[in-house]
Structure 1
């Protein structure tokens, strides 16, 4: 049985239900029956029976289980999970649209954000969204820039913060950050007012392990076709990277919004020329986005416009 046949069966079979599909997706995302049951507020027995019923209906094994209860997708499971996710996303959008027709705003919004990227923006927009739409449940997904983009394309999330125009998906510009160079006080750059790409090429860098590190280096002037930058160390957490810079193990590149409000033992310098980082909100399809996703983007835009209107008065 191929994936197209199964997808047709998903749409046609009367015995199949969304609860079974939700259990299947929850098992894939959590990797265990215990966590899936907790996520869905069901018993493990219910989740197990739902998966067994789904596999029986389709006539295939979707997940492999080991003795510890950890699950992993089979080959055919990998083939159909994108279709199942897309089906559930559309079902959620249909429900939200129907409620909106009666003046109601409720449902689930799955929001993706890059680790430590613009945390103040995220918190401010989330606060406003929750105040305006208290019946919308927001589920937050944190990952690398690459992961957020992949989650949008595979319908794992409804909307996500990305570098505007830097990804393959269409995004709406929300705000603009600035790329900075972080150095310890005794570094040769500490007395400079800005750092050029040529000067950066002579330095040892400490960068994030995955995600947007390569994008940040390209924005700073490192051309992929030329000599590779000297990346001495890679770390997952921004606090760890800053601590390593503080100890003189290298320098790093970070968006200004990622920096702690009180920067101790590290100096932040702009690039010359300055390198703006446009931050946007992306959805898989503007036309097919759920009402909740559209409302979140509109809430973020309104917030950004209000912040921009305050700038002249702050000077």
Structure 2
């Protein structure tokens, strides 16, 4: 077997398509097909199931093998980056995971911009998902580094910034003129939540237990603007990190929790010892950006 065959296998497993896999590894569809066939022949097992439409699904044997393949490819990438770094070069690819409903656009875009400016030859491939998905992607070596909420188990992490949970209610709501809201006061409410329910996962960490009757989830939506509009119309309330709030709130009020519930956001890798050099550079860039951003906030406040 060779690395090209392994790359084709992973690309097919991740995309489910020979066309997309070929694009991902910069080969023809025929070359990808031959690479997979050669790998399966050498291993003596079927790694991927195919139907007449060309849709790919990973087999049971493939499910067991692919974590080892990803780890091997990650090690190969780490070796290549370290060797290039020894020659004074910072090049390669970095797969980054971000949590859609928790990591603010300002943080993500700011760090990516700073990183691209400092290391233009390192390509960043962005993966976005829920809290648990990003954690799984790190553990399975699908991504090299990812934003996580601390504490995070099974990974090695670095604190980047701290946010704070807020409750969003419409004008005229029974809580809208309060300075802060306790968790107990939220049990009677109906919620509008993001489909991943990351907020409820976080609130459970803070001692906010969800049961069959109270509190209730009235609606779920994927788009934050839709959730905000629904709260504005009085259809329910929602939970949101402070930095995810729009600069101008119309028809709604953001209330802190009492006691405050800090949200520690970090960057995590599977293991520092085997991490890509690019991940170290990305963490350093994120820390510098967060420090500068905090200073700017202090000056402007």
Range of TM-score over shorter length? over 0.9
Distance between the aligned counterparts of 2:210 and 2:252, measured in 1? Answer: 28
Q: CA deviation at 1:216?
A: 2.6
Matched, 1:112 2:97: yes
> Over the residues paired in the alignment, what is the CA RMSD in angstroms?
1.8
Q: Is the 2:269–2:275 Cα contact (8 Å) retained in structure 1?
A: yes
Match of 2:26 in 1: 41
Cα distance in 2 for residues equivalent to 1:166 and 1:293: 17
Separation of aligned partners in 1, 2:98 and 2:251: 28
Aligned-pair CA distance for 1:49: 1.1
Q: Post-superposition shift, 1:226?
A: 11
Alignment correspondent of 2:178: 192
> Following superposition of structure 1 onto structure 2, how do residues 1-315 of structure 1 map, counting pairs within 5 Å?
16-116=1-101, 117-210=103-196, 212-219=198-205, 221-223=207-209, 229-315=215-301
> What are the ranges of 5 or more consecutive residues in structure 1 without an aligned counterpart?
1-15
Quick one: distance in 2 between partners of 1:219 and 1:247? 29
Q: Point out where structure 2 has 5 or more consecutive residues left out of the alignment.
A: none
Q: How far off its partner does 1:233 sit?
A: 2.2
1:207 to partner: Cα distance: 1.6
TM-score by length of 1: 0.90
Question: In structure 2, how many angstroms separate the alpha carbons of the residues matched to 1:312 and 1:124?
Answer: 18
Aligned mates of 1:211, 1:74 — CA distance in 2: 30
Deviation of the 1:270 alpha carbon: 0.9
Other structure's SS at 1:165 match: coil
Cα shift at 1:202? 1.3
* Structure 1 residue 126, shift from structure 2 partner: 0.6
What is aligned with 1:3? none
Shift of 1:188: 1.2
CA gap 1:291/1:95 in 2 versus in 1, 3 angstroms: same
Structure 1 residue 23, shift from structure 2 partner: 0.6
Query: Taking structure 2 as the reference length, what is the TM-score of the superposition?
Result: 0.94
Tell me the alpha carbon deviations over residues 70-108 of structure 1, each in whole angstroms, 9 at most, x when there is no partner. Answer: 100111011100000000000000000111111110011
